[in-house]
């Protein structure tokens, strides 16, 4: 297919690549292999330990949003903690890939998206002869409860604004506005790690969560202190990671978004509710061709 020069092409990997790691919540040792995929196939997960059951990475397949995003096939086969890998796909503009995995969740690696960025770039990125599509937001859509909210409003490009507020002096209030750009994503967002509070660890593990968590794959906070020996990667790493999570969750719409996301203390569950609200009314959005020349908006860089 010959595409006009102003239309972006879909992308996939040039070759397959493998990694191995620990599941953040299960504690299981997991092998994962990323494969190239044909145009219009999207991101698909395959459980090789469960009869090669395939689950498309789509918002309709989300079955749980408790401290991570989990997709399932409706018959009890699930894959959890997909948000960091999905953020890497979104940040590097990968539209199509097959993810083979032999356990219940994507390995956490160092708690950020940076190891997945490294894997994708090692595999190489290939353009396909099919136009890239985008979900364009036509009307403001919002959801919220108990001081937490998430919204999408029309915009020429894709921007994310996030605000968090924690009682811990290690975090306090942090705000960030970020315009999606591949180079900026790698430098400013992808390295931000997941975080948690030491006093919550016992309760999470009693509930079957965080069994693989450690100072090697998460920022751990005790009171007003960060316990990690090397400290933070960014002075506002916490809000940057929330942006990373939102980017991964929103990529479950199956395409890049043309709109401005606003999150206030939003988590995976709120992000999922926002997607549901967006698609609840067909007049909220339209499918359009993704531009090859970038956004009309000037990217707003963030500082480390």
Q: Where are the chain's structural domains?
A: 9-131, 134-289
- Confidence band, pLDDT 50/70/90 cuts, at residue 293: low
- Confidence band, pLDDT 50/70/90 cuts, at residue 273: very high
Q: Residue 299 has what pLDDT? A: 37
The whole-chain average pLDDT of the chain stands at: 93
Cβ neighbours for 137, distance < 8 A, ≥ 6 positions apart:
152, 153, 154, 155, 257, 258, 259, 260, 278, 284, 285
At residue 22, does pLDDT exceed 50? yes
Phi, psi of 80 (to 5 degrees): -105, 175
d(C-alpha 282, C-alpha 296), whole Å: 25
Beta-sheet strands, E only, within the chain:
9-13, 17-22, 29-35, 43-47, 53-56, 62-64, 70-72, 78-79, 97-101, 125-131, 133-137, 141-145, 148-153, 158-165, 173-179, 195-197, 219-222, 225-226, 257-264, 285-289
Q: Which of 84, 241, 262, 268 is catalytic?
A: 268
Please report which residue ranges of the chain form alpha helices under DSSP H: 83-91, 114-123, 182-184, 201-206, 237-250, 268-280
Q: What percent of the chain has pLDDT over 70?
A: 95
Provide the token pair at 95: 């539209």
Q: Residue 51 has what pLDDT? A: 96
Cβ neighbours for 122, distance < 8 A, ≥ 6 positions apart:
17
Q: Residue 33 has what pLDDT? A: 98
d(C-alpha 245, C-alpha 86), whole Å: 9
**How do 148-153 and 43-47 pair as beta strands?**
unpaired
Reference 39, options 17, 58, 12; nearest CA is: 12
- Confidence band, pLDDT 50/70/90 cuts, at residue 295: very low
At residue 298, does pLDDT exceed 60? no
CATH code that applies to domain 9-131:
3.30.230.20
The mean per-residue pLDDT over the stretch 99-122 comes to 97
Q: Residue 207 has what pLDDT? A: 77
Reference 3, options 132, 95, 125; nearest CA is: 132
The mean per-residue pLDDT over the stretch 17-36 comes to 95
Check: CB of residue 88 under 8 Å from CB of residue 186: no
At residue 48, does pLDDT exceed 80? yes
d(C-alpha 92, C-alpha 116), whole Å: 10
Q: What is the rounded radius of gyration, in angstroms, for the C-alpha atoms of the chain?
A: 18
Q: Residue 5 has what pLDDT? A: 76
d(C-alpha 267, C-alpha 150), whole Å: 9
Cβ neighbours for 14, distance < 8 A, ≥ 6 positions apart:
36, 123, 124, 125, 126
Q: Residue 1 has what pLDDT? A: 61
Residue 262 annotated in active site: no
Q: Higher model confidence: residue 301 or residue 279?
A: 279
Architecture of domain 134-289 in this structure: 2-Layer Sandwich (3.30)
Phi, psi of 253 (to 5 degrees): -70, -15
Q: Residue 290 has what pLDDT? A: 86
Q: Residue 300 has what pLDDT? A: 41
Phi, psi of 130 (to 5 degrees): -145, 140
Q: Residue 200 has what pLDDT? A: 86
pLDDT in tens, 126-172: 999 999 999 999 999 999 998 899 999 999 899 999 999 999 999 99
**How do 9-13 and 125-131 pair as beta strands?**
antiparallel
């Amino acid at each position: 297919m010959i595409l006009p020069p102003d239309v972006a092409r879909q992308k996939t990997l040039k070759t397959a690549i493998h990694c191995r790691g620990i599941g953040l919540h299960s504690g299981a040792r997991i092998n994962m292999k990323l494969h190239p995929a044909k145009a219009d196939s999207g991101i698909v997960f395959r459980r090789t330990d469960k009869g090669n059951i395939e689950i498309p990475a789509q918002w309709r397949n989300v079955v749980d949003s408790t401290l991570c995003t989990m997709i399932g096939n409706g018959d009890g086969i699930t894959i959890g903690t997909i948000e960091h890998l999905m953020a890497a796909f979104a940040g590097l503009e990968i539209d199509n890939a097959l993810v083979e995995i032999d356990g219940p969740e994507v390995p956490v690696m160092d708690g950020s998206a940076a190891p997945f960025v490294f894997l994708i770039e090692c595999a190489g990125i290939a353009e396909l002869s099919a136009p890239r599509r985008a979900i364009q937001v036509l009307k403001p859509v919002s959801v919220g409860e108990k001081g937490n909210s998430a919204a999408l409003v029309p915009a020429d490009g894709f921007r994310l604004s996030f605000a968090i507020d924690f009682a811990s002096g290690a975090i306090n209030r942090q705000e960030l506005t970020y315009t999606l750009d591949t180079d900026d994503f790698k430098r400013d967002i992808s390295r931000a790690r997941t975080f948690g509070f030491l006093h919550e660890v016992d309760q999470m593990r009693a509930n079957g969560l965080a069994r693989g968590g450690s100072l090697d794959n998460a920022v751990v906070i005790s009171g007003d202190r960060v316990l990690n020996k090397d400290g933070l990667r960014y002075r506002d790493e916490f809000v940057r990671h929330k942006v990373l999570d939102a980017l991964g969750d929103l990529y479950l719409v199956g395409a890049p978004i043309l709109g401005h996301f606003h999150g206030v203390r939003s988590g995976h569950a709120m992000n999922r509710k926002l997607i549901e609200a967006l698609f609840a009314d067909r007049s909220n959005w339209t499918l359009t061709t993704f531009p090859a020349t970038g956004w009309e908006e000037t990217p707003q860089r963030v500082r480390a």
